Amino acid sequence: MTVHTALRAALIGSLLATLGTSAFSQVDDPPPWEEAQVAPPAWSLDGLSTFRLEGQGSMTFAIDPSTITFAPDGVVRYVFVARSSSGAVNALFEGVRCQTGEVKLYARWDTGASKWRTSGDQTWQPLEYRGPTRRAMQMAQAGVCDNKAPARNVAWLLESLKRGRTDQTR
């Protein structure tokens, strides 16, 4: 190999390395995720859409369709309602972040005061098959999420919850 050929190869290699480095340095990292600021919605016991969850005893579960939102931040928010056989009602305003498999409780309905009480600990919790996020995990799998994406729309979410689907091949 001649000196001229070796010099040309070195120059081309150096140029390619420089182009490769600058091409990668041009790629910007996506901006950090930012959660939308939300307030608890108005809701009613009228018009609730009921569904079943496995292993949850004699409770009746429902979601208020008028409160389901698909926000640009990727969070599906809704009012979840649980009713005991004695008629006691527990309503929660919560959100599921399907992409990361997390749930956040924003507020609980105070029946006596007829108003929302914000949750003291408003941190994202991982969805798990055990513990306090089990019910939200079941809901995410049954229709709130479509794998790691939010449900396609309100009708699809409600139908999926009613059917009790827990497979992710829809």
In a domain, 168, yes or no: no
Indicate which CATH number applies to the domain containing 135: 2.40.128
Are 21 and 55 within one domain?
no
Residue 24's pLDDT is 52
**100-143 residue pLDDT tens:** 999 999 999 999 999 999 977 789 999 999 999 999 999 999 99
Confidence band of 57 (pLDDT split at 50, 70, 90): confident
Number of domains in the chain: 2
Rounded Cα gap, residues 61 and 115, in angstroms = 20
Are 1 and 79 within one domain?
no
Element (H, E) at 148: none
Write out the two tokens for 145.
Answer: 């999420």
In a domain, 109, yes or no: yes
Residues 103 and 127: beta-carbon distance below 8 Å? yes
Q: What pTM does this model have?
A: 0.78
Rounded Cα gap, residues 162 and 50, in angstroms = 7
Range of the domain at 88: 49-163
Task: Report whether pLDDT(4) > 80.
Answer: no
In a domain, 169, yes or no: no
**138-167 residue pLDDT tens:** 999 999 999 999 999 999 999 999 997 544
Higher-confidence position of 166 and 2: 2
Are 16 and 83 within one domain?
no
Are 105 and 146 within one domain?
yes
Lowest mean pLDDT among 21-35, 43-57, 118-132: 21-35
In a domain, 42, yes or no: no
> What residues contact 94, with CB distance under 8 A and at least 6 apart?
77, 78, 80, 103, 104, 105, 106, 136
Residue 153's pLDDT is 95
Are 62 and 110 within one domain?
yes
Unique residue bearing structure tokens 């569904």? 51
C-alpha distance from residue 3 to each of 15, 143, 154 (Å): 18, 68, 70
Sign of CA dihedral 72, 120, 52, 170: positive
Higher-confidence position of 6 and 89: 89
Element (H, E) at 89: strand 89-97
Task: Report whether pLDDT(168) > 70.
Answer: no
